[in-house]
């Protein structure tokens, strides 16, 4: 028998289960120590992602720091958003002639609901793959069923496949309607990105959009066509050409995003002091950006660049009535992720 050299045997990626910051989690890691990512079982929530550069380990995500912080859900750090994303006006909607109340009994300011149900639910690892070029985990959740959640009497099975490779993270979120009636469903992700420990003001942001979604004071989009405006009319929020974030305060959604040659929409975050770059990609939809000004911890130390497949309050918009509909027996998938590009002499 011929044995392989130790250096060859060490190549590849592993998946291991562990307690990470007191949280039950799975770690995907390159055995060579070049990259690793950690996902909590609660919500299949990304807790940590880092890569090794010439200057050492670089943190690329701002995740929950403890089990208590994960339970609080403050900031919805890296949470999956399903079966709806962002806000639903007054926590009420009408679907197929039936009125639904997601917060029965609540009144006034307490009627605030956002970012769906999935982020608080337990996901199970259903399948794990380890290989020379990457590792993947398929997570599943069967908790969304009639009677389980006020105002959402539908049966939705969720799957999330995560892939980690040397080039980055890929996530494939799907919702299957396993009930006997059509259901309203939208999907998204709420990641907070960073490029090390510095704040975001000096980072350069680019979102390849042509339109801005206009909202009221409650961040609910305006009715009908009034919700969309040319981005050029709002220069303070126009990052269609890369520029430093500076003191911009953003909590807004970008539409009409131009895809790359591979038909993926790519937003970019770049550190001009190093040239290190993140390319956040999605297979369509809109991009919501939040500069984290109201976070309870480390405000403006990371930026949420959120892939969403529909505008906020889509459940209440007549122009979204068909796109949100998931037929009984149907499945919808929304894919997104991020690629890390290390500094080189050409981009530093």
Q: Residue 91: left (phi > 0), alpha (psi -120 to 50), or beta?
A: left
The whole-chain average pLDDT of the chain stands at 95
Q: pLDDT, tens digit, for every residue of 130-144?
A: 999 999 999 999 999
User: pLDDT exceeding 90 applies to what percent of the chain?
Assistant: 94
Q: How many CB atoms lie within 10 A of CB 126?
A: 13
b/e string for 151-184 if b means 16 or more Cβ within 10 A? ebbbbbbbbbbbbbbebbbbbbbbbbbbbeebbb
Q: pLDDT, tens digit, for every residue of 245-281?
A: 999 999 999 999 999 999 999 999 999 999 999 999 9
The encoded tokens of residue 12 equal 């590849």
Cβ contact 193:269 at 8 Å: yes
What SS3 state is found at 90?
Answer: helix
Residue 117 burial by CB count (10 A; 0-12/13-18/19+): exposed, middle or buried? buried
* pLDDT score for 346: 61
* DSSP string of 120-136, one letter each residue: GSB-EEEEEEE-SSEEE
Domains and CATH numbers, the chain: 6-341 (2.70.98.10)
Mean pLDDT of 115-135: 98
Reported pTM: 0.95
Statement: residue 9 has pLDDT above 50: no
Residue 29 to residue 7: CA distance in whole angstroms: 17
Residue keyed to tokens 């999907």:
187
Q: pLDDT, tens digit, for every residue of 53-97?
A: 998 999 999 999 999 999 999 999 999 999 999 999 999 999 999
* pLDDT score for 347: 61
* pLDDT score for 2: 42
Cβ contact 223:88 at 8 Å: no
Output the CA torsion sign for 49, 47, 313, 100. Answer: positive
Cβ contact 13:36 at 8 Å: no
Q: Residue 327: pLDDT band by 50, 70, 90 thresholds?
A: very high
Helices (H), 98-221: none
By C-alpha distance, which of 123, 119, 17, 23 is closest to 66? 23
Helices (H), 131-276: none
* pLDDT score for 345: 61
Q: pLDDT, tens digit, for every residue of 330-339?
A: 999 999 999 9
Mean pLDDT of 315-342: 97
Cβ contact 49:163 at 8 Å: no
Cβ contact 300:291 at 8 Å: yes
Strands 265-270 and 204-206: antiparallel
**Helices vs strands, H then E, count in the chain:** 2, 26
């Amino acid at each position: 028998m011929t044995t392989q050299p130790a250096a060859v045997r060490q190549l590849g990626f592993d998946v291991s289960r562990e307690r990470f910051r007191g949280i039950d989690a799975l770690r995907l890691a390159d055995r060579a120590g070049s990259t690793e990512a950690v996902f909590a079982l609660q919500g299949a929530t990304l807790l940590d992602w880092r890569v090794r550069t010439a200057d050492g380990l670089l943190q690329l995500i701002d995740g929950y720091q403890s089990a208590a912080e994960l339970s609080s859900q403050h900031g919805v750090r890296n949470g999956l958003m399903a079966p709806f994303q962002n806000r639903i006006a007054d926590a009420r909607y009408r679907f197929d002639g039936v009125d639904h109340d997601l917060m029965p009994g609540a009144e006034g300011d307490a009627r605030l609901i956002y970012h769906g149900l999935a982020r608080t639910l337990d996901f199970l690892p259903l399948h794990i793959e380890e290989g020379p070029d990457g590792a993947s985990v398929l997570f599943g959740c069967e908790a969304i069923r009639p009677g389980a959640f006020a105002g959402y009497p539908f049966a939705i099975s969720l799957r999330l496949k995560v892939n980690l490779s040397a080039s980055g993270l890929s996530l494939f979120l799907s919702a299957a309607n396993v009930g006997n009636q059509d259901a309203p469903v939208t999907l998204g992700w709420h990641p907070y990105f960073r490029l090390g420990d510095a704040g975001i003001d000096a980072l350069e942001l680019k979102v390849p959009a042509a339109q801005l979604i206009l909202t009221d004071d409650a961040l609910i989009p305006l009715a009908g066509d009034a919700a969309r405006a040319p981005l050029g009319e709002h220069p303070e929020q126009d990052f269609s050409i890369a520029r430093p974030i500076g003191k911009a305060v953003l909590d807004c959604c970008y539409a009409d995003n131009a895809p790359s040659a591979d038909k993926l929409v790519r937003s970019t975050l770049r550190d001009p002091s190093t040239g290190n770059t993140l390319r956040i990609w999605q297979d369509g939809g809109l991009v919501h950006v939040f500069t984290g000004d109201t976070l309870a911890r480390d405000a403006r130390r990371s930026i949420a660049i959120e892939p969403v497949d529909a505008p906020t309050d889509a459940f209440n918009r007549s122009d979204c009535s068909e796109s949100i509909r998931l037929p009984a027996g149907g499945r919808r998938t929304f894919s997104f992720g991020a690629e890390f590009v290390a500094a080189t002499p050409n981009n530093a």
